[in-house]
Amino acid sequence: MSSPTPSRLSWLDAVRGPAALAVVLHHAGWTYFPGPWAEVDRRIDVGTWGVFVFFLVSGYIIPASLERHGDVRAFWVGRGLRLLPLLLVAIALALLLAYGGAYELHQGLTTKPLFLVALGNGTMLQELLGVPAVIGVMWTLSYEMAFYLITVALFSTGHAHRSAPVAAALALLAVPLGLVLPGAVIGGWLALLGLPVLAAIAVTMWGTGRVRTAAAVAGGALALALVALGSRIGAWQGLIILAVMFAGTAVHRAERGQIRWRTAAAALTVVLGCALFAKDDPGWAPAIVAAGACFAAFFALRHLSYPRWLTHLGVISYSTYLLHPLLLRLPSAWSYVLVLLPLAYVTQRFVELPAQRLAKRLAWARSGGRAVRGEEGARP
């Protein structure tokens, strides 16, 4: 069955843009008009809506990219070049602003050993290793990394097609584990668990045969354990996030005819049912339902042509998402927006895009000069 063409993927950019702006609105609302925003937030958590849309989109597109290329090394190189260059620039900017008194770092960053802080933030697993993030919104990247590790493990062992039962199993597992583990139990020097994760990725990239497969399985098992034991938000929410991403994968598989639609629908129903009660917050459940409905609506309309301005908001959504917390000390909401979007355009153009082009050149060289098509990924 043919792979989706770039035009058919424009709906992903069209949905990513509003999702990124929803997270921006959530934080700007609490900063610039906290009173009115509190009334909105207790009805629907707009930020949660945005990030869960991202998780569904990641689940839909990331495994498809891995399986089409069939190259785990190219996958990890592509993911690294997609996420790390901008992340390192954003971290450097955060440290610079903090030095100038224009940004407040988490107090825990100064009490943790520098090596652990670098390890946690550099691997993007800080949320699961008990290490404070340099930029608060980086927490979603930890779950993205866990999803990648588990996806690679399933792919390497020939079980990638089992995304629907994996989604349902994770959601059902989330409930009892969430009751037993309402908060993280990983902390202190246990953050060194980031080292075996890095080792597993390295062996998966450069190893061969059974050694590569064993490393992929070890990486996936470590990721699952870190989410269950290390999630700052608790095992219930952490495992639900993984389940939601695999539910997005199930939608992709149903679309490609790899599983039945009723199988994907059953997985989605189980995940949604378990997710609704994962957090005791009146704005949580409406946000989860709205995220699922939004993803479903854009998926149903995926063959439409979307306005260029809307898809471009999706193109710059990762920059928008990662940089927006650094600007919340600007004097007004208007100045905030007028600085944020141009800055996101600049960083996408001069940081993200060159790294993406490098990833494509490396993939082209590795393929022996054959044409390589790939998505930019689903991160905001």
Token pair recorded at residue 325: 């917390």
pLDDT of residue 8: 61
Q: How many CB atoms lie within 10 A of CB 215?
A: 24
109: left (phi over 0), alpha (psi -120 to 50) or beta: alpha
**Residue entry with tokens 């309402």:** 182
Q: Model pTM?
A: 0.94
User: Of 177, 313, 155, whose CA–CA distance to 249 is shortest?
Assistant: 155
Buried b or exposed e, range 221-257, using 16+ CB within 10 angstroms:
ebbbebbbbbbbbbbbbbbbbbbbbbbbbbbbbbbee
Integer Cα distance of 108 and 111 in angstroms:
5
pLDDT of residue 7: 56
pLDDT of residue 4: 42
Distance of CA 338 to the CA centre of its chain: 26
pLDDT of residue 380: 53
Q: At what angle do helices 46-69 and 284-300 cross, to 10 degrees?
A: 40
For each of the chain's 380 residues, which pLDDT tens digit applies?
A: 334 444 568 999 999 999 999 999 999 999 999 999 999 999 999 999 999 999 999 999 999 889 887 899 999 999 999 999 999 999 999 999 999 999 999 988 988 999 999 999 999 999 999 999 999 999 999 999 999 999 999 999 999 999 999 999 999 999 999 999 988 888 888 999 999 999 999 999 999 999 999 999 999 999 999 999 999 999 999 999 999 999 999 999 999 999 999 999 999 999 999 999 999 999 999 999 999 999 999 999 999 999 999 999 999 999 999 999 999 999 999 999 999 999 999 999 999 999 999 988 987 776 655 544 444 444 55
Token pair recorded at residue 96: 């610079």
User: Of 61, 8, 6, 12, whose CA–CA distance to 311 is shortest?
Assistant: 12
pLDDT of residue 68: 80
User: Of 318, 297, 319, 171, whose CA–CA distance to 245 is shortest?
Assistant: 171
The set of residues, in sequence order, having a beta carbon less than 8 Å from that of 111 and lying 6+ positions away, is: none
pLDDT of residue 117: 95
